[in-house]
Amino acid sequence: MTVDLSIVVPVLNEQESVACFVDAVTPIVESLGLRYEIIFIDDGSTDATADIVCGLQRNDPHIRLIRLSRNFGKEAALTAGLDFSTGAAVVPMDVDLQDPPSLLCEMVARWREGYDIAFGQRVERRSDTGTKRVTAGLFYRVFNSISGHPIDANAGDFRLMSRAAVDATLVLRERNRFMKGLFAWVGFRSIAVPYERPARVAGTTKFNYWKLWNFALDGITSFSTAPLKIWTYVGGSVALIALIYTAVIVAQTLIFGRDVPGYASLMVVILVLGAVQLMSLGIIGEYLGRMYMETKQRPIYLVKDTAGFPPSQDRADGQFVPRDAVRAAE
């Protein structure tokens, strides 16, 4: 069956949300008159998420399931969904319905007008905590100020992409994935679709501030070398200050016969320089670690099993384990 619209939904321990999502999305997509599929990617859930999706799939041929062999992270799960999608347009969505299904109508309308990407842009985030709103705004400002490929502020993964935009994104097979940055990097004709972000309908978020910090760090290091370059200027500034201070000490000693400052001044200089060196080494280490992961060329994800896909969609392109191989191993 030819598919017009693929909806890609990464899930992790979302047994309370899956059925609600299907009930909310199905009537809206059917009202558009499009042939569609809903692809759930189970990213190593330990609850009944996969079983619930399988139960829904038995009664609804539009539902597909991809089960990854373990938890690879949302970015890898989203990549798996894009790999398996066949629609002329593809929409990644969160299962918690904070990405309003009603927005699909406007996104499809923009796609029919000729836009390759119609991305959801949050104009109001009352459902987020004050801390998260502040840190999110700070991240977008920092990222866009140092990256050569800025991303749209308050735009997440929720967007409609044409098949051309999806195929271009899938050419990028880097292991440390920051999907919002990849979506921006490929370009194509885009338009914002503003919306107010509601609260979750069920379950709890799987992100905490530590994960969000690492996610932001991945994004910055993936799309900018500014953190590396800045230490050239920091080092040059510290060296200049040290040279001036040295000249002052020498002058004082020659003219006034004063001794070099004592223990306290020496310790301050040593600690400051040591801190600068360790910070610079830490930044270099972040980039070096990511280079190390890329050189190993491990697959982005591995598939444990699939359900609801036609046999013709089983592929062996080196990025996932084909279903037949999994069955043979079992």
Closest CA relative to residue 317, chosen from 90, 87, 83, 40: 83
pLDDT value at residue 184: 82
pLDDT value at residue 135: 67
User: What tokens appear for 172 in the block?
Assistant: 């990028």
Domain residue ranges in the chain = 5-224+299-329, 226-296
pLDDT digits (tens, 9 = 90+) for 80-113: 888 888 888 999 988 888 888 888 888 888 888 8
* 141 or 5, which is more confident: 5
pLDDT value at residue 317: 41
Give the sheet arrangement for strand 190-196, strand by strand. Answer: 190-196, 117-124, 155-162, 89-92, 5-11, 36-42, 63-68, 303-307
Identify residue 318 by its one-letter amino acid code.
G
The SS3 assignment for 203 reads coil
Q: What confidence category does residue 319 fall into, taking pLDDT thresholds of 50, 70 and 90?
A: very low
pLDDT value at residue 257: 63
pLDDT digits (tens, 9 = 90+) for 202-257: 555 555 555 666 656 666 666 566 666 676 677 677 767 766 776 776 676 667 66
Q: CB-based contacts of 183: which residues, under 8 Å, 6+ apart? A: 117, 119, 151, 157, 159, 161, 165, 169
pLDDT value at residue 324: 41
pLDDT above 70: residue 169: yes
Q: What is the largest CA-CA distance in the chain?
A: 93
Lowest model confidence (mean pLDDT) among 7-11, 209-213, 235-239, 267-271: 209-213
CA distance 76 to 10: 9
Topology of the domain comprising 5-224+299-329? Spore Coat Polysaccharide Biosynthesis Protein SpsA; Chain A (3.90.550)
Q: What confidence category does residue 195 fall into, taking pLDDT thresholds of 50, 70 and 90?
A: confident
User: Residues, the chain, total?
Assistant: 330
Residues of the chain above pLDDT 70, percent: 66
pLDDT value at residue 129: 61
Q: What is the pTM of this model?
A: 0.69
pLDDT value at residue 325: 37
Q: What confidence category does residue 267 fall into, taking pLDDT thresholds of 50, 70 and 90?
A: low
